[in-house]
Structure 1
Amino acid sequence: MATPVVTKTAWKLQEIVAHASNVSSLVLGKASGRLLATGGDDCRVNLWSINKPNCIMSLTGHTSPVESVRLNTPEELIVAGSQSGSIRVWDLEAAKILRTLMGHKANICSLDFHPYGEFVASGSQDTNIKLWDIRRKGCVFRYRGHSQAVRCLRFSPDGKWLASAADDHTVKLWDLTAGKMMSEFPGHTGPVNVVEFHPNEYLLASGSSDRTIRFWDLEKFQVVSCIEGEPGPVRSVLFNPDGCCLYSGCQDSLRVYGWEPERCFDVVLVNWGKVADLAICNDQLIGVAFSQSNVSSYVVDLTRVTRTGTVAQDSIQDSRPLAQQLPQPSAPLRRIYERPSTTCSKPQRVKQNSESERRSPSSEDDRDERESRAEIQNAEDYNEIFQPKNSISRTPPRRSEPFPAPPEDDLATAKEAKPSPAINSQFPVPNVEVLPRPPVVASPPPPKAEPAIIPATRNEPIGLKASDFLPQAVKIPQQAELVDEDAMSQIRKGHDTMCVVLTSRHRNLDTVRAVWTTGDIKTSVDSAVAINDLSVVVDLLNIVNQKASLWKLDLCTTVLPQIEKLLQSKYESYVQTGCTSLKLILQRFLPLITDILAAPPSVGVDISREERLHKCRLCYKQLKGISSLVKSKSGLSGRHGSAFRELHLLMASLD
């Protein structure tokens, strides 16, 4: 009898070239977990079936990069928003454009379909949230309240509320029937990137760039708990379908959290980088990430992941499969969502709380819809997914067998899913004994009809040592391995210039750090500028940007000339840091500068006021010089173009 092969907890499934240019957005279908939509700088929206190499359908019509995409729950419709502010809705089963929605004045950052009614919510860089009636191409409501770009929108499971997350560090809850804000949830200290409703209870989770996840009680409108210590900005979270835990897609790992009390149940290492979206299908969690024009998909076997546990059990790993783990009692359940049995009624209009922007279809809309097309690229896959012959209902079933895991190559890779507790000191991961793996019996190759899977083993180390990278002449047969110093000296050979640059940068940073320890931020920045090394300025600004309270008016006068250099740099990280610093200065000081310059002159001698006035004039002059540069770059495509357009809007008052 053949011995069963031990499989992995997480593995890479596939990597595809999704667009002719950079991918700018993507989303997974949450119902099936197998349908993927991608938006690109090539202005197209492409549809894919997970683990199949060919594009199913390509949707055209947008004339600027697609910044946000979203599938509705039955995966029949898709909506896409562009940098120009236009929104298009396609019917996937009919393979045609359904609606073109115009009204936003800047990038579309977030979209969501209403779970029951034929409505779409859109959030933009223009800070507005709009609710659209798909049937009539009209804007039902415009919600105003955020002061910066709206990054994420989610309808509640019962379709009565809308949650919004924005760069202004806040989460807001809107009542769709009344057309007004119900509550605002402050507390995050960085841009809020994602919000998710609990599938059953009145509970909301929000993830932020401040590396925290907060849980909000929607009955008492207060924070339930806060999970800190995330390894990076929180970009994607997902509740388990039964609501027992929350999954967080971290940098190269999946973390499983509980919230009453806050604790980490498990950490699974997944080399997915910055995962952009998550979905669950057949006890498997699917994660997708993009880089340039490539999109990668990954699988985590949830039957091998711990998702529940009492407080007393947090130090002991429950090694039973997920299906055998009993749900653990926690705090009393909150109120449960009452889902309607039919589609929800049309929201009422409340004139004093919202602005109606309903308009009749125009000839321009008709032209846009004629120019928007749905091109079927792969008829076989399209018919299988959207036009099955045995389909009784309009929505075909898309669930199938779980994605097969590649076999383990050795015992070391079997441990990759259980990192050491040192990964997260605040939420220690319980130790689990790894049993020896029985011998692997070779199995026959799979049939050729099966879709090709890129084995995760291709991306794993294959046992090379440092000496394997060294020239043949330096290898000594009798020496088992080189000592660290010898290996490093050999690695440095041929890289003298880079070593000199890095050594000089390290020395300059030590000089700045010595000044920083005195607590004088302004002098620290002055010393970094005096060194005349932009890399040191970037390193220092990346620290100062983390805390807005460190910024003062005199600091702006020193930093603004450096920002102008960074915005013109050929290095992407320099431009990104320059944009972040300039955005902080504009938000924090531009209103103050314009107010002081517009104020009438004071009577008598006021030295402190004169100094402040001098600083404001200097900053204003520097900002005017930068504004022309920002305006010239606001026409760029991609993420830099988006950042420059946002800065251009913030600098509008300078004109």
Structure 2
Amino acid sequence: MATPVVTKTAWKLQEIVAHASNVSSLVLGKASGRLLATGGDDCRVNLWSINKPNCIMSLTGHTSPVESVRLNTPEELIVAGSQSGSIRVWDLEAAKILRTLMGHKANICSLDFHPYGEFVASGSQDTNIKLWDIRRKGCVFRYRGHSQAVRCLRFSPDGKWLASAADDHTVKLWDLTAGKMMSDFPGHTGPVNVVEFHPNEYLLASGSSDRTIRFWDLEKFQVVSCIEGEPGPVRSVLFNPDGCCLYSGCQDSLRVYGWEPERCFDVVLVNWGKVADLAICNDQLIGVAFSQSNVSSYVVDLTRVTRTGTVAQDPVQDSRPLTEQPPNPSAPLRRIYERPSTTCSKPQRVKHNSESERRSPSSEDDKDDRESRAEIQNAEDYNEIFQPKNSISRTPPRRSEPFPAPPEDDTTTVKEAAKPSLAMDVQCPMPNLEGPAQPPVLTSTPTPKSELAIIPATRNEPIGLKASDFLPAVKIPQQAELVDEDAMSQIRKGHDTMCVVLTSRHKNLDTVRAVWTTSDIKTSVDSAVAINDLSVVVDLLNIVNQKASLWKLDLCTTVLPQIEKLLQSKYESYVQTGCTSLKLILQRFLPLITDILAAPPSVGVDISREERLHKCRLCYKQLKSISGLIKSKSSLSGRHGSAFRELHLLMAALD
């Protein structure tokens, strides 16, 4: 008698390299759970079909990193916001730019499409929330109330309200028709990263970096319950489609919660790291996470997950007995959203009829539209998902079969082993050229987890090449099986060079250490600078930064030029060390420098005072040189952006 095959509850589906540089944002299509959009530091938005290796479409036009992306409910439109504050909307079916929206003064941190109307909401680091009419390319309302960056926006299911979450620890609810705030929900003690409306009832969930999830009653405008003890900051939550429970994507698990009373129904171990978005389709939950340029997708079989009724064995427990649950969990405890019976059509371009409109300043936006492109990279997958508008039957197979799970006792992950086709980034038309043939897709075969293939990204090619220059690159040569000697020689490539570099660095550090033991710290730093190796300077500064008493004014005159080099380095650790050292100098010596320079000249000869004045003038000159660099980098996002903004505030005394 054959033993029945038991499948896993959760498994890793795929890992791809989504961009040529770091991925900065991603989102799943909520209708299908199969469409993935990624935004990167390469200023592109790429479209992917989950569990397929090739990029479907690449959207260009942004000139700064893409900080936020969002798909509309039918998955026909996508909106992307950049670090510069610009917003672009693309029509995915027509494969073209639809709108360019300008108005924010800082990073776009959050976006959402209105569920029925032709509107987009945007939240920015400038603390403003804007509602855009994408038919007329204009801002309808601006909502002010947050004091820090707006991290998440969500429209209510009936389209009447907008919920916002921000770094100021608050959640706010806005009335769209009245254009004002309805309620403010305080209570979180850390930045609020995500908000989500219940699909049916007047209930709102919010997740924060304070490791709590709070549920808010939207009739009484008060907290319903609070889930505490999350393993880390809450970044992604999602209600089950029928509203029976809430899913939370934690660092290494999926947690299933109820809220009246608050309790954890189940915990599923999923090693997905910082999961960025969740979607549900065919009783499967799809989770996606990104790290540097890689994007990974995971699947959880919800038929094997407890979603109501019983309590999982987990530390996040409620002491109240199950008898306190509502007698009929399916019966709503609150008011139900009333949805319109019809939906609005997709926005079309508005023709300018009047002379005043033709002369309006929107010509700059039109230029941005012309420079924004939607390049189809994989026609076969594109046609499968976005059938052309002139098709007789427009029924794209977005609700495909569930993803198959690997066997429970198998440590392999089933995935497609095809190599992606090389994307062609050509900004001019290519006449009389057929699209490159797609590479053959190999049969899906089990691959050991330790050898999980990473699918290379679509790469940016230089502009101006002939189309024929790209064609040879898409050919996939048959890779012969490597013998052991060849494999070892490939593994050793680059090791000799690295060993030489590390040996040289070790020798230089020994030289500095010898000086350190015989002389003062100033002489040691001078010797490190004379070696002309920034890595040695970084190692030395990391030691000096641990003890503020080692810093002297004459040390600053030597270190400041090196700090300027570190702040412009491409290495993250160099930038971090430079920021730390500069912060110590500003906090310890800037008041002294400004006081000495502002003091009246002394009467008589005072050599020590003259030397101190000379050092202060030199430090002031060096700090002024660095201040311009700090100001230009203070608009960056992420950890370094906040560090540069803090330094910019500290350097205000220079003016």
Partner of 2:585: 585
Q: Percent identity?
A: 94
Residue 633 of structure 1 and its aligned partner are, at CA, apart by: 3.4
| CA contact 1:170–1:187 (8 Å) conserved in 2 | yes
The superposition leaves residues 570-594 of structure 1 with CA deviations (integer Å, 9 ceiling, x where unpaired) of 8747867998999999999999999
The superposition leaves residues 284-323 of structure 1 with CA deviations (integer Å, 9 ceiling, x where unpaired) of 1001111111111110111111111257999999999999
The 3 A distance-change label for structure 1 pair 204 and 560 is farther
The superposition leaves residues 323-349 of structure 1 with CA deviations (integer Å, 9 ceiling, x where unpaired) of 999996389611111111134899999
Residue 69 of structure 1 and its aligned partner are, at CA, apart by: 0.4
| CA contact 1:140–1:349 (8 Å) conserved in 2 | no
Distance 2:219 2:544 in 1: 38
The range that moved more, 309-318 or 246-255, is 309-318
The 3 A distance-change label for structure 1 pair 378 and 210 is same
The 3 A distance-change label for structure 1 pair 641 and 395 is farther
The 3 A distance-change label for structure 1 pair 458 and 3 is farther
The range that moved more, 412-421 or 433-442, is 433-442
Residue 460 of structure 1 and its aligned partner are, at CA, apart by: 36
The 3 A distance-change label for structure 1 pair 82 and 15 is same
The 3 A distance-change label for structure 1 pair 325 and 475 is farther
The superposition leaves residues 208-254 of structure 1 with CA deviations (integer Å, 9 ceiling, x where unpaired) of 11111111111111111111111111111111111111111111211
The range that moved more, 223-232 or 517-526, is 517-526
Partner of 1:312: 312
The 3 A distance-change label for structure 1 pair 250 and 541 is farther
Residue 20 of structure 1 and its aligned partner are, at CA, apart by: 1.0
The 3 A distance-change label for structure 1 pair 58 and 466 is closer
The range that moved more, 475-484 or 438-447, is 475-484
The superposition leaves residues 370-423 of structure 1 with CA deviations (integer Å, 9 ceiling, x where unpaired) of 111111111111111111799767573410100001113369999999999999
The 3 A distance-change label for structure 1 pair 221 and 553 is farther
Partner of 1:341: 341
Partner of 1:442: 443
Residue 603 of structure 1 and its aligned partner are, at CA, apart by: 28
| CA contact 1:46–1:58 (8 Å) conserved in 2 | yes
The 3 A distance-change label for structure 1 pair 586 and 245 is farther
SS of residue matched to 1:116? coil
Residue 5 of structure 1 and its aligned partner are, at CA, apart by: 1.3
TM-score by length of 1: 0.66
The 3 A distance-change label for structure 1 pair 172 and 317 is closer
The 3 A distance-change label for structure 1 pair 477 and 451 is closer
SS of residue matched to 1:346? coil
The range that moved more, 207-216 or 67-76, is 207-216
Distance 2:43 2:439 in 1: 51
Distance 1:77 1:175 in 2: 24
| CA contact 1:57–1:374 (8 Å) conserved in 2 | yes
The range that moved more, 135-144 or 481-490, is 481-490
Unmatched segments (≥5 aa) in structure 2: none
The range that moved more, 575-584 or 380-389, is 575-584
The 3 A distance-change label for structure 1 pair 476 and 272 is closer
The range that moved more, 505-514 or 553-562, is 505-514
Distance 2:261 2:511 in 1: 44
The range that moved more, 642-651 or 145-154, is 642-651
Residue 483 of structure 1 and its aligned partner are, at CA, apart by: 36
Partner of 1:141: 141
The range that moved more, 557-566 or 157-166, is 557-566
The range that moved more, 505-514 or 251-260, is 505-514
SS of residue matched to 2:193? strand
The 3 A distance-change label for structure 1 pair 135 and 418 is closer
Residue 139 of structure 1 and its aligned partner are, at CA, apart by: 0.4
Provide the aligned C-alpha RMSD in A. Answer: 14.0
The range that moved more, 482-491 or 171-180, is 482-491
TM-score by length of 2: 0.66
The range that moved more, 615-624 or 349-358, is 349-358
SS of residue matched to 1:565? helix
| CA contact 1:110–1:122 (8 Å) conserved in 2 | yes
The range that moved more, 49-58 or 638-647, is 638-647
| CA contact 2:414–2:447 (8 Å) conserved in 1 | no
The 3 A distance-change label for structure 1 pair 531 and 301 is farther
The 3 A distance-change label for structure 1 pair 305 and 139 is same
The 3 A distance-change label for structure 1 pair 453 and 182 is same
The 3 A distance-change label for structure 1 pair 145 and 434 is same
| CA contact 2:48–2:56 (8 Å) conserved in 1 | yes
Distance 1:360 1:435 in 2: 42
Residue 131 of structure 1 and its aligned partner are, at CA, apart by: 0.4
| CA contact 1:13–1:456 (8 Å) conserved in 2 | no
The 3 A distance-change label for structure 1 pair 297 and 88 is same
Distance 2:179 2:373 in 1: 34
| CA contact 2:427–2:463 (8 Å) conserved in 1 | no
The 3 A distance-change label for structure 1 pair 363 and 606 is same
The 3 A distance-change label for structure 1 pair 292 and 261 is same
| CA contact 1:129–1:142 (8 Å) conserved in 2 | yes
Distance 1:258 1:212 in 2: 14
Distance 1:550 1:137 in 2: 58
The 3 A distance-change label for structure 1 pair 366 and 482 is closer
The 3 A distance-change label for structure 1 pair 422 and 354 is closer
Distance 2:226 2:614 in 1: 44
Distance 1:649 1:384 in 2: 52
Residue 640 of structure 1 and its aligned partner are, at CA, apart by: 3.5
Residue 90 of structure 1 and its aligned partner are, at CA, apart by: 0.3
The range that moved more, 29-38 or 141-150, is 141-150
| CA contact 2:13–2:414 (8 Å) conserved in 1 | no
The superposition leaves residues 175-231 of structure 1 with CA deviations (integer Å, 9 ceiling, x where unpaired) of 100001111111111111111111111111111111111111111111111111111
The range that moved more, 337-346 or 367-376, is 337-346
The 3 A distance-change label for structure 1 pair 608 and 154 is farther
The range that moved more, 304-313 or 582-591, is 582-591
The 3 A distance-change label for structure 1 pair 55 and 480 is closer
Residue 256 of structure 1 and its aligned partner are, at CA, apart by: 0.9
| CA contact 1:130–1:141 (8 Å) conserved in 2 | yes
The 3 A distance-change label for structure 1 pair 75 and 266 is same
Distance 2:564 2:333 in 1: 54
Distance 2:263 2:419 in 1: 17
The 3 A distance-change label for structure 1 pair 316 and 513 is farther
Distance 1:202 1:357 in 2: 42
Distance 2:349 2:177 in 1: 8
Distance 2:424 2:375 in 1: 46
Distance 2:522 2:596 in 1: 22
The range that moved more, 528-537 or 426-435, is 426-435
The superposition leaves residues 444-471 of structure 1 with CA deviations (integer Å, 9 ceiling, x where unpaired) of 9999999999999999999999999999
The superposition leaves residues 577-624 of structure 1 with CA deviations (integer Å, 9 ceiling, x where unpaired) of 998999999999999999999999999999999999999999999998
The superposition leaves residues 31-81 of structure 1 with CA deviations (integer Å, 9 ceiling, x where unpaired) of 000000001111111100000000100111111111110000000000001
The 3 A distance-change label for structure 1 pair 443 and 371 is closer
Distance 1:477 1:237 in 2: 44
SS of residue matched to 1:456? coil
Unmatched segments (≥5 aa) in structure 1: none
SS of residue matched to 2:290? strand
The 3 A distance-change label for structure 1 pair 92 and 428 is closer
- Count residues in correspondence: 654
Residue 482 of structure 1 and its aligned partner are, at CA, apart by: 35
SS of residue matched to 2:287? strand
| CA contact 2:76–2:91 (8 Å) conserved in 1 | yes
The 3 A distance-change label for structure 1 pair 435 and 145 is closer
